[in-house]
Structure 1
Amino acid sequence: MGSLSPAERLRQARIVLQDRGIASPDLLAPEIRQSWDRCLEAGLEPHRSPELLYAAGSVLDEARERHELTRRLALAEMHNLYHQISGSNFMIALGDPAGMVLDTITDDTFRTTADAKNIRAGGLWGELHQGTNALGLAAAMRAPVTVHGPEHFFTTYGGLTCNAAPIFGPNGEIAAVLDASSDCRSRQRHTMALVKMSVRQIENGLFREAYRDQLVLIFHTRAEYLRTLSAGLLAVDGEGRVLAANRQAQFFLQGLPARPGHHFAELFRTGFHRFLDEGHRRDRVRLEDHEGSSYVVAIDNLRHACPIHARKDRTTPGAQAGFIAEDPAVRAAMRQVSGAAARGVPILIRGATGTGKELMARHAHAASGRSGAFVPVNCAALPESLVEAELFGHAEGAFTGARRGGARGLVVEADGGTLFLDEIGDMPLPVQGSLLRLLDDWTVRPVGGGTRRKVDLQLVAATNVDLAEAVGAGRFRADLFYRLDMMEVELPPLAGRSDFAAIARHLLRTIDPGCAITDEALEALAGRPWPGNIRELRGALTRLAIAVGERGLIDADHVGAARTAPAPSPSTLERAVIDRVVATWEQTGGNVAETARRLGVTRNTVYKKLRNR
């Protein structure tokens, strides 16, 4: 048997299974043989089509609610994984620990196949329901597994290759299972590696969420890997007691008691409070463990978890960027962006209009530590004939209307800082080629001649369209898409975020610090679909603040009235006054109190004029 190829050994194994009802130990990988044995013991017959079982809608809803946090984090990673797996005929699925499918993302070419129709939300894919399959087997083994073609117990699934890995919660229990399945012809060797990376990202998100009110130490032996998936995470309380360690932390600290109940001092040679003091003075600290290994360490939640040690201001994630980030999926996206920016990796931000893509880009700029400018460019707003000249600059006389003396271009303006290309899906194809050349050698040459110039910048792109679909339609270059897609995050729509109330209150404080809103009013607002997302919410809150005037409290009745009330008509007799009030209000960023102060009038007067604009 030793001279047989893997494919021949598998063919022989299936013959033995069919003729003798035995899983041959000499022909199969141990995990597949053991799974076949369990299927045979359960009375499953390999050549019979398995019964397709689906949970009732209420059972699926309850399971999704029970695993809400895991789903939020996983869905963001599933979208990333979907775009990372090139080719076609594949799907990404998330299952609960028992093998029930919670969510799927399916490629168009795979969606209509018989196999894809079987793998859908509510489907029961435990090993004893659907035989040997990756999703069910990974849960049973508590380990990643690939099930290729005929390794599936049931012949009907012989055309599939499935890669699955369990997602472990901070308590060591399986929280879910992530699966990437394709037809055998589209099998890709790197798929399992990508699945494992996604799983680790989700696990780290679960870890941080579980210990968001405690200190989380992020550490690695090499500084450049501190914000990557290979970093260790260690949670401790304010007194230094160990609460949990992720798998990478356990690997780094093997041989040491990195377990709950032990103390920081049992792991590291530096005292805990001395470590905290040093952590307040600098972003990164050097620590040496009792085995002699040295680490670079950063601390999450230092101010929140240990207020007694808060000697300098450390804002919560997103605060410096000017937006709320209490939703787990948004926090996970911010951490991914921070890690990518720290390493200078191009970042692609996806999301519908108004979800905060530019704010996330500004967070990337802050996380990069660059001292240069943040230069935003709306690719959709630039005239097609001038896009290249605006980006890369132009020599004097390069074209009709060129500036005297030429222009150095937006890319050069961003040198040492961040270039944010918004709506990059609308960039003309010829300019896409020039951008690709920039990514290749990081040099620019002005339109119309001149010497090439080296630039050093962080590139962030954003779009509200599906770039993979645009590539397929010939509207976007595939090679540029792959270069931009090194780190992709997707911002959820406002209606799907768990921090709606916090967002609304934050926006209202920027609109009018003297205005408040009741919980009932927030609940009424949260029930709306918000197709315009945060931008639409800001407009609605502005109108509500104007409506309540100096009373300063928005309640549920105001929200209900605002939904149906017609827009007021401006008074032509007061047009000049209204225009001045509106102009001042816009200059102050919508701050009613500051507008009133500048104009020397009462807030109520400002409200009246704004109401009549």
Structure 2
Amino acid sequence: MGFADHVREIERVGKGSNTGRDAIVVESWRRCLETYQLDPAQAREAVIVSQTRLREHRQQAEDLVRIARSGLERLYRQVAQQNYVLLLSDRQGVTVEFLGDPSFNNNLRKAGLYLGSEWSEPRAGTCAVGACIATGEALTIHQTDHFDITHTPLSCTAAPIYDTQGSLAAVLDISLLSSPILKTSQNMARHLVSSTVRRIELANLMANSRHDLVLRFAGAPEFLDVDPEAAISVDGAGRITGMTHGGARLLAASRGLDWRMPELLIGQPVTDFFLAGLDELSSLTRASLPQDRRIAVRDGSLLFAHAIEPQQRTASVPLARSSGGPLAISRLGGSVPAIDNLRRKVTKLAPSRLPILLQGETGTGKEHLARIVHEVSGLSGRFVAVNCAAIPEQLIESELFGYAPGAFTGALAKGRKGLIEEADGGTLFLDEIGDMPYAGQSRLLRVLAEGEVLPVGGSAPRKVEFRVVSASHRSLADMVAAGTFREDLYYRLNAAVLSLPPLAERDDLPWLLDRLLEKHAKEGLPLRISTAARLMILSYRWPGNVRELDNAIAFAAALCDEGVIETADLPDHVTRLSGNAAEDTNDADGKDAADLRAVLAACKGNVSEAARRLGIDRTTMHRRMRRLGIDRPH
């Protein structure tokens, strides 16, 4: 089809004609014409966002990408031989992860099949990622289905990834620069993408529901334990706390509800959807055969279910609090100047009840620091963590402020206490506060100013008293200047500011490594690390900070033999980027480490004196000690 014919067909569809295109394509074309006012006769080059914007989008999607990575790599291995590229886009349509043949990079970048490409419908017209975001459905946009003539050589298949609260979180897409003429050639691609998405959502639910009962469902017992179709999580009170997309569809179908309204599902009693109580559901474990784990759904259908019992919460938090501040404060980090300074500030600020703002890159341990502040504060109430970026915008008010009985359709008959009220007498931790919608910011400001909370649909405010600790990886001051964050709320939150350095700038990396080895050791068997693997870890830059290091040690601990981590046990990206440097310096490092230890011993552990004797400054000394895996002497 030529350019003119393509434009004429789109114009005919805009006037109401039926040209034989799939309904999903026709609806997208009409959105492009009527809602976004796009001109089909004007070709648009693919948009690649700036490095700054890409970095922001990737940081916000970091947790999902980490959980999804093994699924993405497995899918890419399945389709790479057919010349597909794989894109993971966030809910704004920006590609935050990309897998493709590097020899085609120039062509892929030009076509927009590249990291940082933006595939929202208003920007790119009809395309698989944009249409998937708009409809919430798995689909293929094949060649001339695309609105923009620039993209008509492409064939793209995408499926949505939903978060545990039922909101669209990302889109997984596989695309071809050129493909067979028939659209049906992509049916298998759609099946593969949808299967991968289902596994990613399940992994995400499992990661976020460790302390809840997880129920996995399948229509046939043979696949129940290996490839479930849907899953939900349930708290100790029997309420739905999370779900995969398949789980959302299952719950909605059981009551004749719309799965696009997750607020009617999350928080509801599990008995509203199944003809079984919490005890019966909890008993559906692997102790019985899959064919015996049958469950009746309220719409009359039967399913097979597998219950995964919740992990017991560790006693570390109450233990630290009952033992007083010193034990908690020691968990901040090793004995290096920057961490010692942070420790001093926390010791002074924690008991003061001042609002504290934590600043630091994603993965630097802001929630860990917030919990320590709570433990040192002496407050008797709970530590309640709220991820402002993870709560859907339409639910944030009811989640934070609670709601009165009958406040909206599907509300619990007795209403529900909000997270702010749950923190009464304790600490409210607002993670990624910069992502809170503007309307929510206004209501939060009122709570902080007046010391009372008004539930959604309520008429009588309730008194609350709590300590607020907030965190953001973005500069709230810059957001205030840009008009996206309330200035008066900013000054309410930042009475004190604590900054967490990125891991690459922390001199206590060896201390952190040793603590993580202790954390991931199997019961009764210490976890150790070879010198070569330690050097490799110390020479890697850790862009994902402490969270990335923690994941790497957990990964290596699962692979290693006899409790000793070798270089082969480390994740590929760590060995690939740090291996050359470690190999080049391995022989020399042994002698350097011995010399450095000798100087430190002669100086009785005084790092400043050792630095003076070696003719270097303290910063260089600490960097050299960290590289060689030498802890500061005590």
- How does the TM-score come out when normalised to structure 2? 0.46
Higher Cα Rg, which structure: 1
- How does the TM-score come out when normalised to structure 1? 0.48
